[in-house]
Amino acid sequence: MEWVTIFLLMFGSLVVLLAIGLPVAFAFLTVNIVGAWLVFGGEMGMIQLVRNSVSSLSNFTLVPIPLFILMGAIMFHSGVAQRAIAAIDVAIHKVPARLPVVTVAAGTVFAALSGSSIANTALLGNTLLPEMLRRGYHPTLAMGPIMASGAIAILIPPSALAVLLASLAKISVAQLLVAGIIPALIMAVGFLFVIFYQALRHPDRVPNDAPVEMSMRERYLPLFRDVLPLGLILLAVVGTLLAGIATPTESAAFGCIAAAVTCVFYRSFTLAMLTKALRETVSLSAVILFIVAASQTFSQILSFSGATQQIVGYVSDLNAGPMIVLLGIILMLLFLGCFVDQISMMMLTIPLVFPIAESAGINLVVLGTTYLLTMEVALLTPPFGLLLFVMKSTAPTYITTPDVYRAVLPFLTVKLAVLAIVIALPGLVLWLPNLIG
């Protein structure tokens, strides 16, 4: 069977299955079974499908995924993250538009503790949105920072999605994990500018909160007590990676231990909490690892049929420069992000995009960071951005879906600006990865 027929059959079937609502893992499994039967040859194809699944899940680089998920689940279910948010609120009580600023600060901190954009957004939405609306913040100014800072978890270690992307694309996991730190921090500063601009331009959107008089001890003791100890977890994950004394797997294990020790310190480590965290870890890890197994076979079928080599050859013959190829990849991902979830985007595009990018001379760490940034934008892109639905589910019923869309648009501008900076200044992305080799 011609490679064009195989290519169109697999991608067409996949799009149809995803469009009718079949879960990503089962959609890829179905397509892989058909593709393996046709390309590898009947019963031998089924045997090869099983072999690919086993070998892909035997990859040691996947171990950080369940460990990072466990670390975030421990922080979420123990209540330690909620304590940190409250402490930041007290410490900056004289700042204009205080609660949206707290949201950005807390979202960035919790992103470095959870690695999950969904968990990050759900936590901020459940804890801060009701309070902001109660105090009189306009829904636009209340919801926008929650969604924007919630999505930062894709970029900041311990991002399980970054580990998954690095594993599938065969990039250094450690380098990709730290590559997103500087873009994420620039993004957080940009969010603050958007908040202050909206507060100054539309003062009716911000309540006139009179600063609460309190002593220095009352203001800053919670900060030292509930926020600074979390630096132990950041040191365990990011510090050990940057220092080169731990692999991503080891840093993930250190992070789990540090999270558990922190919970013991706050006396919030219980058997019930641990049980919830472990159940959530098993559930999410099973789905992700199932998708990894499906991805390997999907990529191998395309390669064996000749589709990957032919498409890479066509793009190479165009003699397009690396910048043109990179911009084409970004536009494709931004378009897909309007309709397809992030894992589906990776599964659909990685088997083709990374060989093309490598042949064009694009640095794969820069491309991986660009992928993560683009998927972060996709999480917030109407009409089907996942975090838009998470926000709508936590918001009061009188807030409509168009309200959610309007709230996120100014912050999407910041994310796109950071994406442009990464493209124009790739050294900004490569500085930290080069430190760890």
239 is written with which tokens? 């510090």
The answer to whether 332 and 65 are in contact (CB under 8 A) is no
Is the pLDDT confidence value at 421 over 90?
Answer: yes
Cα separation of 163 and 296, whole Å?
15
Looking from the CA of 375 toward its CB, the CA atoms found within 13 Å total 26
Listed residue (69, 110, 127) closest to 277, CA to CA: 69
Supply the pLDDT for residue 191: 92
Question: Using one digit for the tens of pLDDT, what is the confidence trace for 278-337?
Answer: 988 887 777 767 766 776 677 677 667 776 566 656 666 666 778 888 888 888 777 766
The answer to whether 201 and 102 are in contact (CB under 8 A) is no
Supply the pLDDT for residue 11: 74
Cα separation of 1 and 9, whole Å?
11
The answer to whether 154 and 120 are in contact (CB under 8 A) is no
401 is written with which tokens? 């879906």
Is the pLDDT confidence value at 338 over 70?
Answer: no
Question: Using one digit for the tens of pLDDT, what is the confidence trace for 261-284?
Answer: 888 888 888 999 999 889 888 877
23 is written with which tokens? 């879960």
Question: Using one digit for the tens of pLDDT, what is the confidence trace for 76-134?
Answer: 788 887 777 778 777 777 677 888 888 888 777 777 665 567 666 776 777 778 878 88
Is the pLDDT confidence value at 404 over 80?
Answer: yes
Q: Is 430 helix (H, G, I), strand (E, B) or coil?
A: helix
Global pTM reads 0.70
Listed residue (114, 43, 12) closest to 73, CA to CA: 114
Q: Which amino acid is at 268?
A: S
Most confident of 144-153, 217-226, 300-309: 144-153
List of residues 6+ apart from 129 with CB closer than 8 A:
142, 143, 146, 394, 395
Most confident of 240-244, 358-362, 412-416: 412-416
- Boundaries of every domain in the chain: 3-435
The answer to whether 277 and 74 are in contact (CB under 8 A) is yes
Average pLDDT over residues 411-437: 88
List of residues 6+ apart from 179 with CB closer than 8 A:
365, 366, 368, 369, 429, 430, 432, 433
DSSP secondary structure string, 11-60?
A: HHHHHHHHHTT--HHHHHHHHHHHHHIIIIIHHHHHHHHHHHHHHHHT-G
Cα separation of 91 and 35, whole Å?
58
